[in-house]
Chain A
Amino acid sequence: MNEIGLTHILFLSAILFFIGVYGFLTRRNMVTMLMSIELILNSVNINFVAFNKFLHAGKLDGTFFTIFIITIAAAEAAVAIAIIIHLYRSSKSIDVNDADLMKF
């Protein structure tokens, strides 16, 4: 293939998504797990933009989905980091295995 088309960008975003999944599965530290989630959300954004550009150029819906996902990712990161800092104050650790405060 001599032209960068939709499939190239979909390959890229699929690889990025699974890198994020790998990080989410192997890391046991909450901040790094949050970073993996950001990678996953970004790969989804790439998909939306690519589909909007190559398949539905007559609409802007993919652009709006991307904008809203970025907004919600920012809100999610802020709340997650507040929770992490609170958890660090109460248990002096942000390892997911140490967070058993709500265990019954």
Chain B
Amino acid sequence: MSASIVIFYILAAVIIGGGILAVTAKKIFRSAIYLLFSLMGIAGLYFYLNYEFIAAVQIVVYIGGIVVLIIFSIFLTHASGKDMEKPKLMSIIVSALAVVFACAFVISLINNYSFVASTNTAIEPTVKNIGRQMLSTTEHGFILPFEVVSMLLLAALIGSIVIALKPKTEA
């Protein structure tokens, strides 16, 4: 066993363990912290695959943004020390069975499928290459989705402010 394999299995254990604890923890705040560990493991996996830019984006947006947002919403809506309501036993059994069988099915499919890699010369996913192609207006550029997504972010920003505004009390 080389070090690379050991690192992959450690990352996989962090991701899957964090994920399982995040969906089964009794206290909602702990659930959010386990989600943080899982997302951190995923960022580590991107580093492992040499996608440094995606890993940085993952840390900045997910860990620095979304998890902090979730923690704030927990503080605004919960008594975070209390246990959450337990799901019904029947619902746990049925969901667990469905998930286990579906997971086994997908894993057997992946196991039996032979993937064919393309033989083109590899492009390094460096920030320079990503930036050049994302903002290029030629055939394989991504400038249009980039602009559309910036409009979407603006709409989401304004929309969430409008939705979460305190309604004015009519005097």
Contact = CB atoms under 8 A, between A and B. Distances in A.
A67 interface: yes
Contact of B160 (A56, A58, A71, A81): A81
For chain B, which range describes its interface: under 10, 10 to 19, 20 to 34, or 35 or more residues? 35 or more
Interface string A13-40: 0111011111101111101101110110
Contacts of B23: 19-20, 22-23, 26-27, 32, 35-36, 39
Contacts of A57: 117-118, 120-123
A99 interface: no
Main secondary structure of the interface of A (DSSP, over half): helix
Contact of A58 (B32, B61, B121): B121
B8 A54 contact: no
Interface in B83-137: 84-85, 87, 91-92, 95-96, 98-100, 102-103, 106-107, 110-111, 115-118, 120-123, 125, 129-130, 133-134
Nearest to A56: B118
A14 B115 contact: no
A31 B126 CA distance: 35
Interface of B: 2, 4-5, 8, 12, 15-16, 19-20, 22-24, 28, 31-32, 35, 38-39, 42, 45-46, 49-51, 53-54, 57-58, 61-62, 65-66, 69-70, 72-74, 76-78, 84-85, 87, 91-92, 95-96, 98-100, 102-103, 106-107, 110-111, 115-118, 120-123, 125, 129-130, 133-134, 142, 145, 149, 152-153, 155-157, 159-161, 163-164, 166
